[in-house]
Each structure stands twice: as structure tokens, then as C-alpha cells.
Amino acid sequence: MFGAVLAASDGADAKAQAGALDAVARDFSPRIEASGVNEVTLDLHGLERLIGDPPVIAAELRRTAAERGLRVRVAIAGTRTAARLLVHAHPGLTVVEPGDERQAVAPLPILLMAVVAVEVRAGAPGGGADPDDLLRTLRRWGIRTLGDLASLPEDEVAARLGQTGARWQRLARGEDPRPLVPAVPEERFEQALDLEWPIEGLEPLSFVLGRLVEPLSAHLERRDRGAAVLHVRLHLVTREMHERSLQLPAPMRDARTLRTLLLLDLESHPPSAAIDRVVVAVDPTPARVVQFSLLARPLPSPEQLSTLMARLSALMGEGRCGSPAEVDSWRPGAFAMKPFAPREAAAPPRGERLASGRPGAPAAVVALRRFRAPLPVRVRVEGGRPSRLAVDRRGVNGGRVRASAGPWRTAGAWWDSGLWNRDEWDVTLEGGETYRLFHERETGRWFLDGVVD
């Protein structure tokens, strides 16, 4: 059994009217569907035992709406389509017994098909025929009521009007084209607390954040959701608002982790005055499903990584922690910093082997391990080529150069403070070490840029 509730157009704010109508409907049934700005369909199954017969339910619906300042029409029928057609045709209360829908809607004018035509057109391939064109065709045939359309032969209607005409005929009999699709109420994952006395400092704020984050975490747990973005709004005594948003690397809902991340961020970006109201909100997302491998070591959890990265960022500063990324530049050693987000290593293709013959091991490559920052060295030059170098850094050997390659001259960024102009050399010492050297042409100084592993 369904009940369609329609709010009369009394000139009130449409958005407020729709919200009030939605609230009235949810007082009676959790399964409701909004069919327009001022129309709501309810599933009334089971209300007979709580309220009474359908006329009593209809009267109670109208009385509740009147208490909230709404003038509504109410129609109750065994199908959604019949209830919607009847509520547009008759003011007041209309109740139809289940099974009598076709007879109840038969006298209604064919123009009422426009009420449900949008739903039919949306379900038709390619959008279906235009309702106005279809109505004009039916009127030229002499069809004036829904009963006239319902009584036509089905095959003849489908042959002349296509699938859209066949759907219209079923609607004219009061049949539903689809089941009711309940609207899911919008949930707000937000907690707020008004403080009796303003607070300053992170220590008292940590207790307040704990009181707000714990129920928020429990709400996420009940809904099987995780926090994708964490928001905190601090209302200051100066009438200003201090807002921060944290983009989390993975959905999480651990209360201690969320509170720690907020505190570490606020430690780096403290408010400018005392706080008298705190609001914490999250943007929810489906919780992650973790499947560990029996063959590989599991990575640290996102909660542990997020807390570690937040502590490092608070210690070192924003933009100084993360993973290096390549940039489109000729500058030696140029890189950018991106958020640290490790991924599971992909398994090697089956049967792949190394030169050593061990399956699954990575292939051996030659890599240059750069020093941060480059090490100053003393270089003796003979015949325009480095012949000996001396290094003061412990663990880095110097000595006579056995072989050298270069120079490779690079220069750029002469238009700003990042100017570089240098000659690079690859040298191998008599002890077997291979280094990358560079000579700054502007200053004449030599540096050890890295070691070849």
C-alpha cells in the first residue's frame, strides 16, 4: 500500500516546503521517494497495526502536515502510480482499496498522464517519445480518459505508438513501471561543542577533540564508512574562524589516529586567538578492505604512516617530507616532493630470472647515488683532466684517477637565482671507486656529486 502526499502551492519557499514535506513523510515511514518538489510517495506497509485503517492513516497524515503549516492532499492506493494520479485529480483525502486501482483511475482525464510521463520517458531507450506529441495523438484518436486508453487492444497500441505507448497504457491501468526506490537521508558526520570558557593551547584542545572524534568514529563504524577528508573549524573569541582540512591517504576511522593528526596539523598552524567553539567533520567514503599476502611482508598501516608523516611535517615543515618525483628540467638533481604513498610491489612475471639465475630477484642496474649536499673536494688537474682527488669526508676515499670521462657541460637558469654552469666528469680511482665530479665554472670549485653503485 502506498500513499502519495502533495503539498499545495501556497507561495511558500519551495525548498523549505519540500524539507517540511519530507519530514512529515519520514515521521510515518522510513521508505519514501520524492517525486517532485512538492510530492512524496510513502510505503505504508505495516502502519495498519500501528495507526489503523487507510482512512485513519490518511487523516493522520493530513493532520500532521497541518501542524507544520502545510496544506496537503493525500491519496492511498495499492500502487504508486494510482496514488499519484488520484492525488493530482482529487483534493482532500482519497482512499482506494487494493485491486480497485484500474476502476479508480479510469474516469481521470488523459492529461494527467503528464504527471507520470517523465518517469516513463526516463526508462525508455533513447528517452522515448515526447509526451506532448503523444497526448496530441491520443486526443486525435478521441481518447479523453485513462479508461479509454486502458481499454484499447495492447498489440494495436504497441504497433502504432511503440514501447512508450505500451508503457502509457499500463500506467493508465494504475500499474507501476518500477518498484519504489527509497530516498536515503543525507547523513552529516559532524560533531560540535560550545565551550563554557575559551581555551588556549594544544593540551586543553586535545581533550575537546577527543570528545568530538570518539562519537564521530563510532558513527563511521556503524555505517561502515571511513574518513577521506578531515575538517576542523575553530570559532575564535575574535569572531574569526580558523579552518583546517586534512586529505587522508586512506579511509580511516580510528579515533586516536584522527585526533593525533588534527593536533599535529594545528601545532603547525595554530589559531591566532582563544577558542570558544570547536567543530569536527569528515567527508565519508566506503571503508577499505585489507587483504594481506602470505608471501610478502605487509606494509605499515595507513594510520601509522599518516601519524608518522604528520609528526615529520610538524618537525621539518610542510613540503619537506614525502617521496621524490621527477620534474621536466635539465637541472642536475632537480626533483619535486609528492605525498608519501607506498604501494605493494608487483610480483615478477612467472619464469623471470636474473642474470644470477635466481627467480624473482630484481635485475642488476647501475645507479648514481647522489650526495645531499654535494661534497667539496680538492682535485689536481693534469692536461685538462682530473688526475687526483682528495676528500675530507669520512667513508669516502680519494686517490689517483685511473680513468675519466668528460667533460659534459651543462648550464641554465641564468634568468633567476637558480643559475648553474658546470662541467661534469665520471672518474674511476685506482681503488675501484667510481664518482661523479663537477667543476663550477663561475667559482672554480670542485664537488663530489655522487657515487656509482
Q: What is the DSSP string of 188-254?
A: --EEEEEEEEEE-SHHHHHHHHHHHHHHHHHHHHHTTEEEEEEEEEEEETTS-EEEEEEEEEEEE--
Task: Pick from 3-7, 123-127, 215-219, 247-251 the range whose average pLDDT is largest.
Answer: 215-219
Q: With pLDDT > 70 as the criterion, what percentage of the chain qualifies?
A: 84
Distances (CA, A) of 260 to 190, 211, 282, 341: 18, 13, 15, 19
* Average pLDDT of the segment spanning 235-247: 91
The Cα 352–Cα 359 span in angstroms is 6
pLDDT attached to residue 373: 83
Top-level CATH class of 2-172?
A: alpha beta
* Average pLDDT of the segment spanning 427-451: 88
* Average pLDDT of the segment spanning 104-111: 91
pLDDT tens for residues 281-330? Answer: 998 888 766 666 677 666 666 767 777 777 777 777 777 777 888 888 77
Q: If we measure between CA atoms, which residue out of 110, 85, 109, 96 comes closest to residue 174?
A: 85
pLDDT tens for residues 195-220? Answer: 989 998 888 999 999 999 999 999 98
User: Which triple of cell numbers denotes residue 148?
Assistant: 479509454
Spacing of C-alpha 174 from chain mean position? 40
Strands (E), 309-367: 323-325, 336-338
pLDDT tens for residues 253-282? Answer: 889 888 988 988 888 888 989 999 999 999
Count of residues making up the chain: 453
The CATH label, of 3.20.20.70, 2.40.30.160, 3.40.50.300, 3.30.1490.100, for the domain at 190-286 is 3.30.1490.100
Mean per-residue pLDDT of the chain: 82
Q: Is the pLDDT of residue 11 over 70?
A: no
- Residue 422 contacts residue 441 (beta carbons within 8 Å): yes
Identify which has the larger pLDDT, 126 or 198.
Answer: 198
Burial 190-203 (b: 16+ CB within 10 A, else e): ebeeeeeeebeeee
Distances (CA, A) of 214 to 150, 175, 206, 261: 59, 49, 12, 14
Q: If we measure between CA atoms, which residue out of 27, 26, 7, 25 comes closest to residue 17?
A: 7
Q: If we measure between CA atoms, which residue out of 425, 204, 261, 256 comes closest to residue 332?
A: 425
Q: How is residue 132 annotated by DSSP?
A: H
The Cα 75–Cα 2 span in angstroms is 8
Cis peptide before 407 (omega within 30 of 0): yes
The Cα 158–Cα 164 span in angstroms is 8
- Residue 152 contacts residue 137 (beta carbons within 8 Å): no
Name the residue ranges covered by the structural domains of the chain: 2-172, 190-286, 368-452
Give the least confident one: 18-32, 105-119, 352-366, 370-384. 352-366
